């Protein structure tokens, strides 16, 4: 028998063989079990993650003569015909080559005929986004009200190109990229079944370069096995994938972290001579920074995603970079990536970006030193006046001892009834001694005054006041006509507004922040000042 490619040999034939699409499989399985089968489905997602395979399994499951639960038996005549692609009732259409209105008209004519053998006549339209607009329009009516024996399953990698009128007539299922752990375990299992010698690092590299696509990964395994003569090792895998370039990038990244400008310039010349892609190098360094920040946050590297050599490399260079510098470099290389995409002089843009990256800490240190060594001359009289004014403003804006005591008392009341405390905070203390505790409200706060004078609130306030002061002082709450005194809540609000304004002014005037804005051509869009926890 002729050799069958691994991607075809290990194509899933049951729902439980689909990897990494639990939500989709569970929903479709339940629909079959409950008999709630829709007339139209849309499978979307990246290439090689199981869209067409799931469509075929679904077609077998709803037509199988002897199903195994919700899974097809794969042994009956119908299952075998669907697997072989010879079934007259399961029609697969390539949307890219059958995209015109004439093909859709033929499809509309064929749906009238009942299935020859199966329960359902199923149309699987792959790459459905390639259909023309007239073809989509011709499909609308049939898709909305097809005969009872017809099911449409459409698959696409570009769901945004499907007209809304089509989307609204389908049940949509979004397939996702296969997670790294699932792909690693699956590839290892396939290699063991095929009795192919392999090492862990090679599987990690294959998995990472497949970008979550199982079909690509299995095709790559086939290619590596053919090249190496029956094994999958890191040397042959690296050669076929062109990973020798990573050695140059690793060295470049180290030189940038060491801030060795002379060596960076020489290494850049080597990169230019080899003709390496600047965008590829920049993306790789961004990926390095992602791994470093992930490890600093979690304390470990994803072992299945990285090779042992890569883990050693990242462990070594982590000592040369802290989190703050990693964030700054991440932003710098992101901007470099954008510049490389939009400017023609890529070599100069790339070289200047590396120069900035290798000088980033020196630039910041230099600006800080300059600000310290060359202070701006001040007018002493003006400075003194400003300082005096600032102090007087701060003292006015602060809370006095009576206000602080009032704040603590309101906190105690809040434990019994937050509403009582909130309304009482609009008042102010008039008298507080061993005999009397008098609270006043201005005319503008009559609403809050009326609330706290209700019996249920007065009882709470009276009890808390006695417990707070430890005596039997008399409580009285009065409304003062013409009073312009401010309640505690109003004072605190003004105080917070004042401090927030001062904080924002300090941030906008901060020399380090100004330097970072200039370095990355950025701007401050918003400043959020958070309240400190008590």
- 385 or 256, higher pLDDT: 256
- pLDDT, one tens digit per residue, over 91-150 is 999 988 888 888 888 888 888 889 988 999 999 999 999 998 888 988 888 888 888 999
Position 383 scores a pLDDT of: 39
Least-confidence region, from 66-80, 129-143, 304-318, 459-473: 304-318
- Give the 3-state secondary structure of 127-181: CHHHCCHHHHHHHHHHHHCCCCCEEEEEEECCHHHCCHHHHCCCEEEECCCCCHH
Position 273 scores a pLDDT of: 84
Do the Cβ atoms of 461 and 475 come closer than 8 Å? yes
The CATH-assigned architecture of domain 180-240 is: Orthogonal Bundle (1.10)
CA 119 from centre of chain: 43
Sign of CA dihedral 328, 329, 332, 338: negative
pLDDT confidence band for 261 (50 / 70 / 90)? confident
Q: Which of 429, 505, 510 is nearest to 473 (CA)?
A: 429
Do the Cβ atoms of 10 and 19 come closer than 8 Å? no
Position 435 scores a pLDDT of: 87
Position 500 scores a pLDDT of: 72
| Structure token digits, residue 178 | 């296969």
| Structure token digits, residue 458 | 């007065």
pLDDT confidence band for 249 (50 / 70 / 90)? confident
- pLDDT, one tens digit per residue, over 374-402 is 343 343 333 343 344 444 344 445 678 88
Least-confidence region, from 192-196, 347-351, 380-384: 380-384
Is the confidence at residue 365, as pLDDT, over 90? no
Question: In which element (H, E) is residue 25 found?
Answer: helix 22-34
- pLDDT, one tens digit per residue, over 490-524 is 888 777 776 677 777 777 777 777 777 776 777 77
CA distance 484 to 399: 17
Is the confidence at residue 319, as pLDDT, over 90? no
Question: In which element (H, E) is residue 295 found?
Answer: helix 278-298
- Give the 3-state secondary structure of 340-404: HHHCCCHHHHHHHHHHHHHHHHHHHHHHHHHHHHCCCCCCHHHHHHHHHHHHHHHHHHCCCHHHH
CATH class of 6-174: alpha beta
Position 151 scores a pLDDT of: 94
DSSP readout, 451-509? HHTSHHHHHHHHHHHHHHHTS-PEEEEEEETT--PPPHHHHHHHHHHHHHHHHHHHHHH
Is the confidence at residue 341, as pLDDT, over 70? yes
Is the confidence at residue 301, as pLDDT, over 70? yes
CA distance 378 to 139: 78
Is the confidence at residue 300, as pLDDT, over 90? no
Do the Cβ atoms of 222 and 58 come closer than 8 Å? no
**404 Rama sector, left if φ>0, alpha if ψ -120 to 50, beta otherwise:** alpha
CATH 1.20.272.10 fits 245-368, yes or no: yes
Least-confidence region, from 115-124, 178-187, 365-374: 365-374
| Structure token digits, residue 377 | 């001359």
- pLDDT, one tens digit per residue, over 25-63 is 999 999 999 999 999 999 999 999 999 999 999 999 999
CA distance 291 to 296: 9
CATH of span 399-534: 3.30.300.180
Question: In which element (H, E) is residue 9 found?
Answer: helix 6-9
pLDDT confidence band for 530 (50 / 70 / 90)? low
CA distance 313 to 284: 14
The mean per-residue pLDDT over the stretch 330-356 comes to 88
Residues 147-165 as b/e (b if ≥16 CB within 10 A, e otherwise) read: eebbbbbbbbbeeeebeee
Is the confidence at residue 251, as pLDDT, over 70? yes
Do the Cβ atoms of 15 and 50 come closer than 8 Å? no
Position 427 scores a pLDDT of: 92
Query: Which letter does DSSP use for residue 71 in this model?
Result: B
The mean per-residue pLDDT over the stretch 151-159 comes to 92
CA distance 49 to 51: 6
CA distance 256 to 112: 68
Position 384 scores a pLDDT of: 40
Query: Which letter does DSSP use for residue 16 in this model?
Result: G
CA distance 229 to 533: 65
DSSP readout, 189-205? HHHHHTT-EE-HHHHHH
Mean pLDDT score of the chain: 84
Q: How do the domains of the chain map onto residue ranges? A: 6-174, 180-240, 245-368, 399-534
CA distance 121 to 90: 6
Question: In which element (H, E) is residue 333 found?
Answer: helix 323-342
Position 125 scores a pLDDT of: 93
């Amino acid at each position: 028998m002729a050799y069958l490619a691994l991607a075809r040999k290990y194509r899933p034939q049951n729902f439980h063989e689909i990897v990494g699409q639990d939500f989709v499989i569970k929903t479709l399985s339940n629909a079959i079990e409950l008999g709630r089968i829709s007339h139209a489905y849309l499978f979307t997602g990246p290439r090689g993650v199981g869209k067409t395979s799931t469509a075929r399994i679904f077609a077998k499951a709803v037509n199988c003569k002897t199903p195994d639960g919700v899974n097809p038996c794969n042994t009956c005549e119908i299952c075998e015909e669907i697997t072989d692609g010879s079934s007259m009732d399961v029609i697969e259409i390539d949307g890219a080559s059958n995209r015109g209105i004439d093909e859709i008209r033929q499809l509309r004519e064929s749906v009238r005929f009942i299935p020859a053998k199966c329960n359902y006549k199923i149309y699987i339209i792959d790459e459905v986004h390639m259909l023309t607009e007239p073809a989509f329009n011709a499909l609308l009516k049939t898709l909305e009200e097809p005969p009872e024996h017809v099911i449409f399953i459409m698959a696409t990698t570009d769901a945004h190109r499907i007209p809304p009128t089509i989307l609204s007539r389908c049940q949509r299922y979004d397939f996702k990229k296969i997670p790294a752990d699932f792909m690693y375990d699956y590839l290892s299992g396939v290699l063991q079944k095929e009795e192919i010698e392999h090492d862990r690092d090679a599987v990690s590299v294959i998995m990472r370069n497949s970008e979550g696509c199982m079909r690509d990964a299995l095709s790559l395994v086939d290619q590596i096995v053919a090249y190496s003569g029956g094994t999958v090792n890191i040397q042959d895998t690296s050669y076929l994938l062109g990973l020798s370039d990573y050695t140059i990038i690793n060295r470049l990244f180290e030189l940038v972290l060491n801030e060795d400008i002379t060596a960076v310039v020489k290494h850049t010349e080597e990169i230019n001579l080899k003709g390496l892609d600047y965008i590829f190098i920049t993306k790789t360094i961004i990926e390095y920074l992602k791994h470093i920040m992930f490890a600093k946050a979690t304390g470990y590297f994803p072992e299945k995603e990285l090779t042992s050599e890569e883990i050693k490399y990242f462990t070594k260079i982590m000592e040369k970079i802290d989190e703050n510098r990693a964030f700054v470099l991440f932003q710098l290389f992101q901007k470099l990536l954008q510049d490389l995409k939009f400017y023609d002089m890529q070599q100069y843009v790339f070289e200047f970006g590396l120069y900035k990256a290798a000088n980033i800490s020196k630039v910041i240190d230099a600006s800080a030193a300059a600000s310290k060594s060359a202070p701006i001359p001040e007018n002493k009289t003006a400075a003194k006046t400003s300082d005096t004014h600032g102090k007087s403003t701060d003292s006015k804006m602060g809370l006095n001892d009576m206000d602080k005591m009032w704040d603590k008392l309101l906190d105690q009341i809040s434990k019994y009834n937050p509403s009582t405390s909130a309304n009482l905070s609009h008042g102010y203390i008039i008298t507080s001694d061993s005999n009397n505790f008098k609270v006043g409200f201005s005319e503008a706060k009559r609403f809050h005054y009326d609330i706290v004078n209700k019996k249920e609130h007065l009882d709470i306030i009276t009890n808390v006041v006695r417990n707070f002061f430890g005596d039997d002082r008399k409580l009285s709450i009065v409304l003062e006509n013409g009073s312009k005194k401010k309640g505690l809540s109003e004072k605190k609000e003004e105080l917070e507004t004042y401090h927030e304004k001062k904080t924002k002014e300090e941030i906008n005037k901060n020399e380090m922040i100004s330097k970072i804005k200039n370095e990355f051509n950025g701007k401050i869009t918003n400043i959020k000042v958070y309240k400190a926890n008590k």
